Amino acid sequence: MSAVFLVCSLAAFSTAHASVVSLNVEGDGWAGAMPVLAPVNVQGSGFVLAQPGPANPASFVFSELGAYRLTQPDGVSALGSRDLTLTYSVSGLLDPVTGGLSFSSGAFSLYADTQFNFASSTEISH
């Protein structure tokens, strides 16, 4: 598994910014990056743990972890010569009255794998 070179605008990402995102699934830098011009299909799962806040039991703290596979819009075809996987973890506060979320931390990682085996036990070392 190798890291993927991801380039995007420093502006907040949105659908309007999709034309400024480029991917290089080979992971060898900007020269091999291709713009992502079509919609990307995302498949996977995220899991949320919410608990009463330690300082205020009327509020909740949450953490979420997830893993998603990125494909062409058909949901099957790869975006390039590798399987792309996005993993993330975020945490923050949930206001049960308004339903508002505030994020206190988060990270995401993007990986490219020559084995097209997302969500399987193939090629997992023990």
**pLDDT per residue over 54-100, tens digit each?**
888 888 999 999 999 888 888 888 887 888 888 899 999 988 888 88
**pLDDT per residue over 89-116, tens digit each?**
999 998 888 888 889 999 988 888 888 8
57 in a structural domain: yes
**pLDDT per residue over 14-47, tens digit each?**
444 445 677 777 777 777 777 776 678 888 899 9
- 7 or 70, greater pLDDT: 70
Domain count, the chain: 1
- Other CB atoms within a 10 A radius of the CB of residue 105 amount to 9
Range of the domain at 44: 2-113
126 in a structural domain: no
- The pLDDT assigned to 122 comes to 60
Task: Look at residues 104, 3, 94 and name the one whose alpha carbon lies nearest to residue 51.
Answer: 94
- The pLDDT assigned to 17 comes to 47
124 secondary structure, DSSP code: -
Task: Look at residues 50, 52, 43, 40 and name the one whose alpha carbon lies nearest to residue 13.
Answer: 40
125 in a structural domain: no
Residue with tokens 């792309």: 84
Mean pLDDT of 118-123: 66
Confirm if 123 and 117 have CB atoms less than 8 A apart.
Answer: yes
Say how far apart CA 114 and CA 25 lie, in whole Å. 10
pTM, whole model, 2 decimals? 0.65
124 in a structural domain: no
120 in a structural domain: no
